[in-house]
Structure 1
């Protein structure tokens, strides 16, 4: 199911749910064709843990704007420790392949933004950027019990009453690059042996959970960058499609369409998935239809009705 249960506890550098990405969303800002919304949902255990995010980790959106699956732009979010009932966040922007690869590079575009602990979102606007971080209702909708029972759907949305920690950033399209067709992914860099390493990553929904079945594959996958995806995983992904009934050549073509694992997004278009991903896109049924050649029935679920029409768009926490 999406990325909610993929990889958590598999990698020694991502045992902490605060370092776990559940979903990312990329879509045109409603009412403004010149701006894009980036959403990263963290921590499927929110608010069970004392702190929803890790102040020693870096939460990053990466953007490839020339089609080589290497970051050309990076937005890096860092959080202060929780002190009393408050916490703050800063956002760095690194532009260019070199700075985007250097976790310490970039300019601070948002500093000391308040993190929202209550229901009313605290929004920070600086220049062309808007930012939100805090506990929110999980926008993901799915029936994992039915999916695990050979698509015998229960009709129950497991995530309807769940929360996540949401990081939402509104950016001008011009920062993403001159070509409107880009690839976006998210990762969490976590402290390990005195340095920051990649502990978790997410792109298209459902990729890690549905295609990487062994602990070793999950470990390698979550610690590598998209540029290596085809080299290391194309044959394994194609085999999954073959197992679903596709002939070998078609299976390879489908696997190539999923790798590298980036959310493909054309910011000149407001269309949803597979162009970016809206909060209301029915990505689970899209993915199941692809994997089963349309054999599985629709699960009957619909997007959550607590989404907001205004920034930061995620619903109030439960």
Structure 2
């Protein structure tokens, strides 16, 4: 379910779980309507170690400001190698389409930010931005065992005791551009044949896993940008909705509503999914209801209770023996 099982092993550029995205969250900062929280979780097998993120990859949050599914603003996070039980990160901001397309363009807005290896979050702040990176409790909640058994729910949240590597950025809304309605997506650029290539991507929850039916589709999907989604995948997404019982015209309209795969967000609103995505949004049941036309009962699961009230909001990591 969601993005937790997509991408891995589909191609040489997606073999490393440290470069694999589990979920993307975008939401209005609680108590401050002038700020937005951007969070991308990676590495669904995150251990309580200092080796949960890849220092050779680039972790990027792209913002489309004008509705054409092309990145106009990019936040790029790079990590240092681990040295003496410590690691740092830098955050680069590139504005303008040309700069966003150039991996070496942009200004460093946060430098030498410590990565958190323990439970107590280490937060770096500068110029209206705040940043956190480190192991966290996975906020995603779902019953994938029940889902694969024809929605015979088990009542067990598979992710209740799982960890991820969380990358969380607090930004002024002004950094997302003057138009409050934007599209956000995340990608990981990984080293391959001497250059950086896109190895994984995420926008709305559950898209790749639930709509791409074979390895070839998953490989193409994860290595392309959202601007190509409709031309290459609209027919295939429509077929999924038709197979679920929707008439052709309704199936086409639903598929069009999901593509291009960007997490649409109006930063003047804290409403939650499909306006961005809060950590507590019940996205799996929403998606199943859309796909099934409301025929499948709720799985009975609820948001995790270990979320923090303040930045970085993701709960402390689970300590496994």
Normalising by structure 1, report the TM-score.
Answer: 0.99
Instruction: Give the equivalent residue in structure 2 for 1:52.
Output: 52
Alignment gaps of 5+ in structure 1: none
User: Superposed, which structure 2 residues align to 1:299-314 within 5 Å?
Assistant: 299-314=299-314
CA contact (8 A) 2:48 2:135 kept: no
User: Superposed, which structure 2 residues align to 1:242-261 within 5 Å?
Assistant: 242-261=242-261
Instruction: Give the equivalent residue in structure 1 for 2:200.
Output: 200
Q: Which shows bigger deviation, 264-273 or 50-59?
A: 50-59
- In 1, the alpha carbon distance for the partners of 2:77 and 2:10 equals 24
Q: Give runs of ≥4 in structure 1 deviating > 4 Å.
A: none
The structural deviation recorded for 1:241 is: 0.2
- In 1, the alpha carbon distance for the partners of 2:52 and 2:187 equals 16
CA contact (8 A) 2:136 2:316 kept: yes
Question: Does residue 1:101 correspond to 2:101, yes or no?
Answer: yes
Question: Does residue 1:184 correspond to 2:180, yes or no?
Answer: no
User: Superposed, which structure 2 residues align to 1:1-318 within 5 Å?
Assistant: 1-47=1-47, 51-318=51-318
- In 1, the alpha carbon distance for the partners of 2:293 and 2:49 equals 40
Alignment gaps of 5+ in structure 2: none
The structural deviation recorded for 1:50 is: 5.8
SS at match of 2:306: coil
Measured on the aligned residues, the alpha-carbon RMSD in Å equals: 0.8
SS at match of 2:158: coil
The structural deviation recorded for 1:278 is: 0.1
- In 2, the alpha carbon distance for the partners of 1:9 and 1:286 equals 28
CA contact (8 A) 2:188 2:200 kept: yes
The structural deviation recorded for 1:12 is: 1.6
The structural deviation recorded for 1:296 is: 0.7
- In 2, the alpha carbon distance for the partners of 1:125 and 1:308 equals 18
CA contact (8 A) 2:180 2:267 kept: yes
SS at match of 1:13: helix
The structural deviation recorded for 1:11 is: 2.0
- In 2, the alpha carbon distance for the partners of 1:13 and 1:29 equals 34
- In 2, the alpha carbon distance for the partners of 1:190 and 1:196 equals 5
- In 2, the alpha carbon distance for the partners of 1:295 and 1:283 equals 16
The structural deviation recorded for 1:49 is: 7.2
Q: How many residues align?
A: 318
Residue deviations 1:46-75, cap 9 Å, x none?
017761110000000000000000000000
- In 2, the alpha carbon distance for the partners of 1:214 and 1:48 equals 33
CA contact (8 A) 2:28 2:37 kept: yes
Residue deviations 1:203-242, cap 9 Å, x none?
0000000000100000000000000000000000000000
SS at match of 1:302: coil
SS at match of 1:285: helix
Residue deviations 1:133-166, cap 9 Å, x none?
0000000000000000000000000000000000
SS at match of 1:276: coil
- In 2, the alpha carbon distance for the partners of 1:50 and 1:87 equals 8
